[in-house]
Amino acid sequence: MVKIKPFAALRPPKKFVEEVAARPYDVLNSAEAKAEAGEKSLLHITKPEIDFHPFVDEHSKEAYDKAVENFKLWQQRGWLVRDPKVMYYVYAQTMEGRTQYGLVACAHTEDYTEGRIKKHELTRKDKEEDRMIHIRIQSANIEPVFFTYHDVPEINRIVEKIVSAKPEYDFVAPDGFGHHFWPVSDDEDIQRLTTLFASVPAFYVADGHHRTAAAALVGAERKAANPNHTGEEEYNYFMTVVFPESHLKIIDYNRVVKDLNGMAPQTFLQALAKDFMVECLCDNTMPYVPQRPHNFSMYMDGCWYSLTARQGTYDDNDPIGTLDVTVLSNLVFDRLLDIKDLRTSKRIDFVGGIRGLGELKRRVDSGEMAAAFALYPVTMKQLITIADTGNIMPPKTTWFEPKLRSGLAIHTF
């Protein structure tokens, strides 16, 4: 069973929250972060290279030192203030009329190392180390990770009661997503939530695999350096927002390729027909949206196409083999385009569904890419089944929106 605890967050006073809150570090490049960052933005802490002209390497000592300096400065200036007691927090997000409610809490690093926090993606050592440095130098989890769990009706009822009150933070970010935030200060609610989560068998990482791994590794470092370690020290915990499974929706994660491996478009279409039923939609002015699993949308040479994988080209009894990312990788990228490793190939790129299918068309029409492929989204059930069976999804399979806004709460140790 998993373990959570409340914590006394560092967070912005209400009057500063919209200026401090920022998009996550990994959805912006340095130029985009510089353009978005106002004076009080958390981006000066999460992407400190933007404070240099020209930008320094985000992995340089200068950048890391600047992150520490800015974190201290934000506290000195009162842009981040410590709560007077340990609490949980409810964080809700609204997108396109749908609101999801999560609990901001601290998870235990041992739940990750012992497999009760389950992952569905591989992590890279270089990215783990970068996140470890940020946690290590700040002694803080500046940005939360994003977990899900099987619904517990009583937890849902407690959250519903809490959110019936007026939120402390309530704003719409520039991207149009709503963010709503309630401190949970009632001791009875805190104790009951802690008890209820102690009967939850597992958390599932939705977003933040590298931050989760890094937090566990830094916790292990601190444990090794402390001869009086008990397991209850604050460094054993890291900040997460946990959402019930029923609240979450995965959106599509699409692909664009730079070339057709020497084939002309017509030759490529003929090759696709071996494994797919190919329908030309050139008379359609609107992008074609995949309608069901194993149905794909392709844009090439000014036309949209529907591609439906033929029976026998996939295995619905295999949790990995049935994924559309696997079907597309095996039948198109590997077999026809000779793209063997999606993690390292320079001939392929990935486009989150939040950008819309128009972004796929734009990148092909510009001449940057030769073809684009849109996929039917993975389901929460598929993600959980894969994590439960110890399998790993192919790269760039899931895209969650809205992203957690950074800076609403920070956990220190």
CATH number (domain holding residue 292): 3.30.1760
- With respect to residue 228, please indicate whether it lies within any of the assigned structural domains: yes
Same domain, 149 and 35: yes
How far apart CA 54 and CA 295 sit, in angstroms, is: 46
Same domain, 195 and 296: no
Domain count, the chain: 2
CB 301 within 8 A of CB 292: no
Among the candidates 248, 272, 298, a domain finishes at 248
| Lowest-confidence segment of 105-109, 147-151, 316-320, 374-378 by average pLDDT | 316-320
Same domain, 69 and 193: yes
Same domain, 293 and 370: yes
Same domain, 163 and 226: yes
- With respect to residue 392, please indicate whether it lies within any of the assigned structural domains: no
pLDDT in tens, 67-77: 999 999 999 99
Confidence of residue 280 (pLDDT cuts 50, 70, 90): very high
Strand, coil or helix: 180: strand
Same domain, 280 and 221: no
Separation in Å, CA 368 to CA 97, 259, 349 = 35, 9, 11
Same domain, 216 and 80: yes
How far apart CA 216 and CA 114 sit, in angstroms, is: 11
Please work out, in degrees rounded to the nearest 5, the angle formed at the alpha carbon of residue 130 by the alpha carbons of 125 and 132: 90
Among the candidates 187, 219, 248, a domain finishes at 248
How far apart CA 149 and CA 413 sit, in angstroms, is: 25
| Lowest-confidence segment of 46-50, 118-122, 158-162 by average pLDDT | 118-122
188: CB partners within 8 A, 6+ apart: none
Mean pLDDT throughout 323-348?
95
Same domain, 214 and 309: no
CB 71 within 8 A of CB 142: yes
Question: Using CA atoms in the order 300, 306, 310, 314, what is the torsion angle rounded to 10 degrees?
Answer: 80
* Residue found under tokens 């560092």: 10
CB 364 within 8 A of CB 372: yes
pLDDT in tens, 374-386: 999 999 999 999 9
Mean pLDDT throughout 140-145?
98
| Domain around 187 | 4-248
25: CB partners within 8 A, 6+ apart: 33, 43, 46, 47, 143, 406
Same domain, 194 and 146: yes
The pLDDT value recorded for residue 132 is: 96
Among the candidates 226, 248, 270, a domain finishes at 248
What pTM did the predictor assign?
0.90
In the Cβ-directed half-sphere of 149, how many Cα atoms lie within 13 Å?
Answer: 27
The pLDDT value recorded for residue 85 is: 97
How far apart CA 97 and CA 207 sit, in angstroms, is: 22
Same domain, 42 and 171: yes
The pLDDT value recorded for residue 394 is: 87
For the record, the structure tokens of 73 come out as 């400065």
Same domain, 281 and 176: no
